[in-house]
């Protein structure tokens, strides 16, 4: 079926270290992927997206990697800061209507 899942529900890193958040997807027909950050009490906030014709895309301190062979997506955050503490969701546009399907999220905790 169509589903997006996360390998790690929680991730704790030291401030200044790099963080890697992983995501698996099951629909090989998905052609668009997106990462959202959700802070406590707020709605999800767009971080970065990538289309299936790419395998890497970089933003400010963030990089998304897409491996279509194993249907795996990752978000790398460089020099993690306390303000990066949040729940991170990956999503794929793979539903029958092309809707975004969200994973259950990974909580990132940054230790000072």
Partner 1 sequence: DAGVIQSPRHEVTEMGQEVTLRCKPISGHDYLFWYRQTMMRGLELLIYFNNNVPIDDSGMPEDRFSAKMPNASFSTLKIQPSEPRDSAVYFCASSLNRGRKPGANVLTFGAGSRLTVL
Q: Which residues bind partner 1 (CB under 8 A)?
A: 31-32, 34, 36, 41-46, 49, 51, 89, 91-95, 97-105
Q: Smallest distance, Å, CB 81 to partner 1?
A: 22
**Extended strands (E) in 1-111:** 4-5, 10-14, 19-25, 32-38, 45-51, 56-58, 62-67, 72-77, 86-93, 100-102, 106-111
Which CB sits closer to partner 1, 103 or 110? 103
Which CB sits closer to partner 1, 30 or 80? 30
Which CB sits closer to partner 1, 43 or 112? 43
Q: Smallest distance, Å, CB 32 to partner 1?
A: 4
Could you please report the per-residue DSSP string of 34-63?
EEEEE-TTS--EEEEEEETT-SEEE-SSEE
Q: Smallest distance, Å, CB 29 to partner 1?
A: 11
Tokens found for residue 19? 């963080």
Which CB sits closer to partner 1, 22 or 32? 32
């Amino acid at each position: 079926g169509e589903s997006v899942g996360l390998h790690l529900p929680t991730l704790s890193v030291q401030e200044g270290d790099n963080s890697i958040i992983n995501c698996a997807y099951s629909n090989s027909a998905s052609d668009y992927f997106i990462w959202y950050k959700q802070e406590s009490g707020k709605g999800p906030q767009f971080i970065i997206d990538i289309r299936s014709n790419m395998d890497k895309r970089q933003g400010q301190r963030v990089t998304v990697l897409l491996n279509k062979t194993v249907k795996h997506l990752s978000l790398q955050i460089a020099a993690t800061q306390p303000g990066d503490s949040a729940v991170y969701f990956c999503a794929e546009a793979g539903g029958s209507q092309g809707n975004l399907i969200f994973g259950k999220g990974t909580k990132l905790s940054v230790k000072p």
